[in-house]
Amino acid sequence: MIPQSSPELLKRGARYFIDLKLFFSMKSVFSKKVIEVVKKISKGHTMSYKEVAILAGSPFAFRAVGNILNKNYDKRIPCHRVVRSDGSSGGYNRGSLQKMKILKKEGAL
């Protein structure tokens, strides 16, 4: 059994905490970039999850873009304007039918 006061254990714990803190700070930086990109999509236009990921600085993080947008409930962020690369609507936290309805109303479809 390793004693709780073991310097090596404390060192590993501190390193784990720092790595975890860095991970979450990086995630929030990327999230902020995604939100800033999406805010700039004008009415009547769409952008793919991949295009948003590229503009946010992580070209292969298109699934992360979807996860970030799925957690957004701020109506000032037009998440509904982000669609799949194949042109289909993709997900929407208020329902895909609602997303299509809004996009049609805005003239994006």
Choose the catalytic residue: 37, 65, 79, 82: 79
How many Å separate Cα 66 from the centre of its chain? 5
Nearest-angstrom CA–CA distance, 73 and 107:
22
69 close to 38: Cβ distance less than 8 angstroms: yes
Asked if 5 is an active-site residue, the reply is: no
96 close to 89: Cβ distance less than 8 angstroms: yes
User: Which residue's structure tokens are 């996860």?
Assistant: 67
Would you name the residues annotated as active-site residues?
79
